[in-house]
């Protein structure tokens, strides 16, 4: 499956989905430092610079087709530490561009990530926009510590699908996440390692070894990023669903 990665940051979404067997078709990221990181690790993948000017027509003209759209749109207006403007705020309001591209491109699956506060500060809007595009959705709040990270980083994950018969794979993902409530991050991380999902793979992928360090940009981009293990598990859920449909 080919992925359009919106609000790409330093590429953690694509890193996880590629581990699940997908291919990144294009990025869209406006931050210059993040764009340099993406260019280092995905030199052959095109990167568009502004979601507001990206269209299905432009992607088609560049020979790009996608099966999955993913992205964590800006959280600053939704986060409890932010302005409180909500999903209609100047930055979090870029969800409208995300929804527009979903309607234009009509992918098979959409993966949306944002802070946990989205559940009370915009989830109804997101689900309503997805429904208006003909998508059903599943969602779950998952902390990074559930996949072995040494921090909480609670995020709301939404997986929308264009077929209405349900998404068995996401139920497997949800059951898998819920099956480890008593484990420490280290214990759960070890269980993932035993299945080939490596938490320690993150560091070398994100570090840059050419030129002087940019600690401020690096810390900011890491702070805005996600742990790739979660989209990897979602990618595997999509693959499991696709496999079930082929078998049927």
205: left (phi over 0), alpha (psi -120 to 50) or beta: alpha
Point out the catalytic residue in the list 47, 75, 133, 164.
75
Instruction: Provide mean pLDDT across the span 14-31.
Output: 96
Given a cut of 80, whether residue 92 has pLDDT beyond it is yes
**What tens digit of pLDDT does each residue of 51-81 get?**
999 999 999 999 999 999 999 999 999 988 7
* pTM metric for this prediction: 0.83
DSSP 145: G
Read off the CATH number of the domain in which 72 is found. 3.40.50.150
- Annotated catalytic, 164? no
CA distances (Å), origin 23, targets 2, 43, 132, 229: 5, 14, 27, 16
Q: Give me the number of domains the chain comprises.
A: 1
**What tens digit of pLDDT does each residue of 128-183 get?**
999 999 998 889 898 887 777 777 788 999 999 886 545 666 676 666 566 544 44
Structural domain that includes position 206 = 2-247
- Residue listed under structure tokens 């581990």: 19
Written as six digits, the tokens of 15 are: 């890193």
First-to-last alpha carbon distance for the chain, in angstroms, is 19
């Amino acid at each position: 499956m080919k992925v359009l990665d919106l609000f790409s940051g330093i590429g953690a979404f694509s890193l996880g989905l590629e581990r699940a067997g997908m291919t990144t078709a294009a990025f869209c990221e406006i931050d210059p430092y993040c764009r340099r990181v993406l260019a280092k690790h995905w030199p052959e993948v095109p990167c568009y610079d502004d979601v507001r000017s990206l269209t299905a027509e432009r992607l088609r003209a560049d020979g790009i087709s996608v099966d999955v759209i993913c992205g964590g749109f800006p959280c600053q207006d939704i986060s409890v530490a932010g302005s409180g403007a909500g999903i209609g705020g100047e930055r979090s309001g870029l969800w409208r561009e995300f929804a527009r591209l979903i309607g234009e491109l009509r992918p098979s699956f959409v993966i949306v990530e944002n802070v946990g506060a989205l559940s009370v500060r915009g989830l109804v809007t997101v689900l309503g926009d997805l429904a208006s595009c003909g998508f059903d959705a599943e969602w779950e709040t998952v902390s990074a510590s559930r996949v072995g990270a040494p921090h909480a980083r609670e995020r709301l994950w939404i997986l929308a699908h264009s077929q209405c018969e349900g998404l068995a794979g996401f139920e497997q993902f949800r059951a898998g996440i819920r099956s480890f409530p008593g484990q420490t991050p280290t214990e759960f991380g070890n269980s993932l390692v035993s299945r080939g999902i490596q938490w320690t793979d993150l560091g070398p992928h994100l570090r840059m070894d050419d030129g002087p360090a940019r600690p401020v940009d690096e810390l900011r981009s890491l702070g805005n990023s996600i742990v790739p293990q979660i989209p990897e598990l979602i990618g595997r859920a999509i693959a499991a669903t696709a496999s079930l449909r082929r078998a049927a």
